[in-house]
Amino acid sequence: MVKHTENVDNATRTYEMREIQPVSHIIANSFKSKILQMTNKNHQIPLEFVDWSKRWCTVPAGSKQHYENFYETELREDDVFVVTFPKSGTTWIQEALWLLTNALDFEKAKTEDLHSQRSLFLEFKCLHPDTIKDPLTKSQEMTSPRLLKSHMPAHLLPRQLWEKKNKIIYCARNPKDVIVSLYHFQRGLGTLQASLDEFVEDFINSEMSYTPFWSHVLDFWQLRQEPNVFFTSYEEMQRNLSQVLVKLNDFLGKPPLTETDLSNLLNHLNFQNMRSNQTVNLSKALAHSTKPLRFNVQSEFRFIRRGIVGSYKDELSIESQNKLDKWTEEYLGRFNLNLSDIFDSL
């Protein structure tokens, strides 16, 4: 383990990076994992009783400088962040948020790519160091208000986010559905050789990017009463998307939605239209990726796949389901919580 301490603007930050031996069936080549621990002792995350110096996150073995650049990036007062654990409905809520923050400009939403133009994935260069243009640099060219995306946990998000109290929208999803969706995503990209049962083990053991899962979700669930934090879930969006949109619009401080506005939003955001909309669906773009990214995309790959709550029941073995139930109960039990507290009571 390497520990590095430095003083910047009188704030002491301690970074720890320790290598873990990736399981043979996890992800090869550029996706080999290291554990990165970054702690800012002067952080302003409004959560009590959390020792941030003990928090860590599994990330690909990218350059430490990329993580430093991400953490120290300059934010604007009106920046809006969408934060999720991967495969938790990110693109769905991202598209909804972009429309709400851009006066329901459906024409632009149908012609400009969401991921590369309208809402950038800020830490992308951390995951793919060889990518040509850093989204952090490109984001400086965006007009305000910017909608920025990250999968980082609370303590690794840009420092200024907690100082300027930018609006943060967090979308969670049941871990069983996350696992199945993430498994098919990585298999489809050609970056994973594993059975689904093996993948479950790696997920539980926090041996893949952005894990551990539950601390990622619970930090934001506990922050949900903060005036700049909006917490929702994939399940809530599936149950009552119109209600979520109305609440989101109010959270963003926008004029009330008319019935026509809401109807147009629901039509634009329905599953089939999202799947056929090439400005949000990355299937073709990833299939035709070139150097330096170049994925070995499988013919059956679908960036937007099924969109069904509980689809894990069709694919996860009973043994894996039981392991995940035990893991979830043990973790949430420490907080006197259960799944319904997070996903059913919103």
Are 92 and 36 in contact by the 8 Å Cβ rule? The answer is no
Q: Which residues are 14's β-sheet partners? A: 5, 39
Per-residue pLDDT of the chain (346 residues; tens, 9 = 90+): 223 333 333 344 444 544 444 443 333 333 344 445 445 554 689 998 888 877 888 887 666 788 889 999 999 999 999 999 999 999 999 999 999 999 999 999 999 999 889 999 999 888 777 766 789 999 999 999 999 999 999 988 999 999 999 999 999 999 999 999 999 888 877 777 789 999 999 999 998 889 999 999 999 999 999 999 999 999 999 999 999 999 999 999 999 999 999 999 999 999 888 887 778 765 444 444 434 444 455 555 454 555 677 778 888 999 999 999 999 999 999 999 999 999 875 5
* Residue 243: CA count within 13 A, CB half-sphere: 10
Residue 164 lies in a domain: yes
Helices 318-333, 175-189: axis angle to 10 degrees equals: 130
Question: Cα-Cα-Cα-Cα dihedral of 274, 276, 278, 279, to 10°?
Answer: -20
Domain extent at residue 95: 74-343
Amino acid at position 148, single letter: L
**Res 150: pLDDT:** 97
Record the tokens describing residue 334, joined without a space: 């420490």
Residue 38 lies in a domain: no
User: b or e along 155-192 (b: 16 or more beta carbons within 10 Å of the residue's beta carbon)?
Assistant: bbbbbbbbeeebbbbbbbbbbbbbbbbbbbbbbbbebb
Residue 51 lies in a domain: no
Residue 198 lies in a domain: yes
Are 27 and 186 in contact by the 8 Å Cβ rule? The answer is yes
Domain count for the chain:
1
Position of tokens 């632009």?
Answer: 108
Which H or E run includes 146?
Answer: none
**Res 127: pLDDT:** 78
For residues 77 and 275, give the distance between their C-alpha atoms in angstroms, rounded to a whole number: 33
Residue 320, C-beta contacts closer than 8 angstroms, at least 6 positions apart: 196, 197, 200
**Res 196: pLDDT:** 93
Are 170 and 220 in contact by the 8 Å Cβ rule? The answer is yes
**Res 10: pLDDT:** 37
Position of tokens 């926008």?
Answer: 254
**Res 79: pLDDT:** 98
Residue 328 lies in a domain: yes
Residue 188 lies in a domain: yes
Residue 25 lies in a domain: no
pTM: 0.85
- Please say whether the dihedral angle defined by the alpha carbons of residues 95, 98, 101 and 102, taken in this order, is positive or negative: negative
Residue 13 lies in a domain: no
CATH number at residue 199: 3.40.50.300
For residues 57 and 327, give the distance between their C-alpha atoms in angstroms, rounded to a whole number: 18
